[in-house]
Protein backbone atom coordinates (compact mmCIF):
# COMPACT_ATOMS: atom_id res chain seq x y z
CA UNK A 1 0.00 0.00 0.00
CA UNK A 2 1.61 3.22 -1.14
CA UNK A 3 0.25 5.38 1.72
CA UNK A 4 1.64 3.05 4.41
CA UNK A 5 5.01 4.14 5.79
CA UNK A 6 6.01 0.51 6.41
CA UNK A 7 5.15 -0.44 2.84
CA UNK A 8 6.68 2.57 1.12
CA UNK A 9 9.47 4.16 3.17
CA UNK A 10 12.93 3.65 1.66
CA UNK A 11 14.45 4.42 5.07
CA UNK A 12 12.59 1.57 6.74
CA UNK A 13 13.41 -0.80 3.90
CA UNK A 14 17.09 0.16 4.21
CA UNK A 15 17.06 -1.01 7.86
CA UNK A 16 15.57 -4.41 7.10
CA UNK A 17 17.10 -7.07 9.34
CA UNK A 18 15.47 -10.01 7.57
CA UNK A 19 12.73 -10.49 5.02
CA UNK A 20 11.12 -13.52 3.41
CA UNK A 21 7.94 -13.89 1.36
CA UNK A 22 5.64 -13.49 4.36
CA UNK A 23 7.32 -11.52 7.16
CA UNK A 24 10.07 -9.01 7.76
CA UNK A 25 11.83 -7.34 10.66
CA UNK A 26 13.44 -3.95 11.19
CA UNK A 27 14.53 -1.85 14.18
CA UNK A 28 12.06 0.80 15.29
CA UNK A 29 13.20 4.40 15.03
CA UNK A 30 11.82 5.11 18.52
CA UNK A 31 13.18 2.22 20.59
CA UNK A 32 12.20 1.59 24.18
CA UNK A 33 15.46 -0.32 24.72
CA UNK A 34 18.40 -1.05 22.40
CA UNK A 35 17.41 -3.74 19.89
CA UNK A 36 13.66 -2.95 19.99
CA UNK A 37 12.52 -4.57 16.75
CA UNK A 38 9.28 -4.56 14.76
CA UNK A 39 8.11 -7.65 12.90
CA UNK A 40 5.49 -7.19 10.18
CA UNK A 41 3.71 -9.24 7.60
CA UNK A 42 4.91 -8.39 4.10
CA UNK A 43 1.30 -8.14 2.97
CA UNK A 44 -0.38 -4.96 4.18
CA UNK A 45 -2.92 -5.88 6.87
CA UNK A 46 -4.05 -3.90 9.89
CA UNK A 47 -5.16 -6.63 12.33
CA UNK A 48 -3.83 -9.99 13.41
CA UNK A 49 -7.17 -11.57 12.42
CA UNK A 50 -6.43 -10.54 8.82
CA UNK A 51 -3.34 -12.76 8.66
CA UNK A 52 -3.34 -16.17 7.05
CA UNK A 53 -2.16 -19.07 9.18
CA UNK A 54 1.06 -19.11 7.17
CA UNK A 55 1.63 -15.41 7.84
CA UNK A 56 1.00 -15.88 11.56
CA UNK A 57 3.49 -18.74 11.65
CA UNK A 58 6.10 -16.72 9.73
CA UNK A 59 5.63 -13.72 12.04
CA UNK A 60 6.10 -15.70 15.24
CA UNK A 61 8.94 -17.85 13.88
CA UNK A 62 10.78 -14.69 12.89
CA UNK A 63 10.13 -13.24 16.36
CA UNK A 64 11.85 -16.24 17.93
CA UNK A 65 14.87 -15.85 15.64
CA UNK A 66 15.12 -12.14 16.44
CA UNK A 67 14.91 -12.85 20.18
CA UNK A 68 17.74 -15.38 19.94
CA UNK A 69 19.91 -12.77 18.20
CA UNK A 70 19.01 -10.09 20.77
CA UNK A 71 19.97 -12.41 23.64
CA UNK A 72 23.36 -12.98 22.02
CA UNK A 73 24.06 -9.36 21.08
CA UNK A 74 22.66 -7.48 24.07
CA UNK A 75 22.59 -10.13 26.79
CA UNK A 76 18.85 -9.69 27.15
CA UNK A 77 17.05 -11.76 29.76
CA UNK A 78 13.41 -11.24 28.80
CA UNK A 79 11.12 -9.63 26.27
CA UNK A 80 7.96 -7.58 26.01
CA UNK A 81 5.83 -8.60 23.02
CA UNK A 82 3.11 -6.22 21.94
CA UNK A 83 0.92 -5.18 19.09
CA UNK A 84 -1.79 -2.55 19.04
CA UNK A 85 -4.98 -2.88 17.03
CA UNK A 86 -6.80 0.30 16.18
CA UNK A 87 -5.95 3.91 16.75
CA UNK A 88 -7.77 3.95 20.10
CA UNK A 89 -5.39 1.20 21.29
CA UNK A 90 -2.28 3.11 20.22
CA UNK A 91 -1.77 1.78 16.68
CA UNK A 92 -0.04 4.73 15.01
CA UNK A 93 0.80 2.90 11.75
CA UNK A 94 -2.14 0.94 10.29
CA UNK A 95 0.08 -1.98 9.28
CA UNK A 96 0.16 -4.82 11.81
CA UNK A 97 3.49 -4.92 13.60
CA UNK A 98 4.71 -6.94 16.55
CA UNK A 99 7.04 -5.12 18.93
CA UNK A 100 9.87 -7.20 20.36
CA UNK A 101 11.30 -5.20 23.25
CA UNK A 102 14.39 -6.81 24.77
CA UNK A 103 14.73 -6.43 28.54
CA UNK A 104 17.45 -6.99 31.10
CA UNK A 105 18.10 -6.16 34.73
CA UNK A 106 18.42 -2.41 35.19
CA UNK A 107 16.27 -1.33 32.24
CA UNK A 108 14.49 1.89 33.08
CA UNK A 109 11.11 0.72 31.83
CA UNK A 110 8.73 2.05 29.25
CA UNK A 111 8.27 5.75 29.71
CA UNK A 112 5.16 7.60 28.59
CA UNK A 113 3.58 4.32 27.42
CA UNK A 114 4.01 2.09 30.46
CA UNK A 115 1.79 -0.99 29.93
CA UNK A 116 0.74 -1.04 33.58
CA UNK A 117 -0.80 2.39 32.99
CA UNK A 118 -2.84 1.56 29.91
CA UNK A 119 -3.50 -2.18 30.09
CA UNK A 120 -4.25 -2.69 33.76
CA UNK A 121 -7.07 -1.01 35.58
CA UNK A 122 -5.87 2.14 37.32
CA UNK A 123 -5.65 2.42 41.06
CA UNK A 124 -6.05 -0.69 43.13
CA UNK A 125 -4.50 -3.92 41.90
CA UNK A 126 -6.54 -6.02 44.29
CA UNK A 127 -7.55 -9.50 43.19
CA UNK A 128 -10.95 -9.65 41.54
CA UNK A 129 -13.46 -11.58 43.66
CA UNK A 130 -14.07 -15.15 42.50
CA UNK A 131 -17.77 -14.54 41.77
CA UNK A 132 -16.89 -11.68 39.39
CA UNK A 133 -14.37 -13.88 37.56
CA UNK A 134 -17.04 -16.57 37.18
CA UNK A 135 -19.49 -14.05 35.71
CA UNK A 136 -16.91 -12.78 33.21
CA UNK A 137 -15.96 -16.33 32.20
CA UNK A 138 -19.61 -17.27 31.71
CA UNK A 139 -20.31 -14.15 29.62
CA UNK A 140 -17.38 -14.91 27.32
CA UNK A 141 -18.32 -18.60 27.04
CA UNK A 142 -21.85 -17.58 26.06
CA UNK A 143 -20.60 -15.10 23.46
CA UNK A 144 -18.38 -17.78 21.92
CA UNK A 145 -21.48 -19.90 21.23
CA UNK A 146 -22.84 -17.25 18.85
Q: Which residues are marked as active site?
A: 97
Alpha-carbon span 133 to 126, nearest angstrom: 13
Question: Closest Cα to residue 97, out of 33, 38, 51?
Answer: 38
The backbone torsions φ and ψ at residue 60, rounded to the nearest 5 degrees and listed phi first, read: -75, -30
Alpha-carbon span 63 to 58, nearest angstrom: 9
Amino acid sequence: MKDCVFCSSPDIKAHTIFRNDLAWAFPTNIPITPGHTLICPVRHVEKIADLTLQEQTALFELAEKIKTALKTIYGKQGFNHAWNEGEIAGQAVPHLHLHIVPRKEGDTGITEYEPRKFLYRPGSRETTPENELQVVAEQIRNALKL
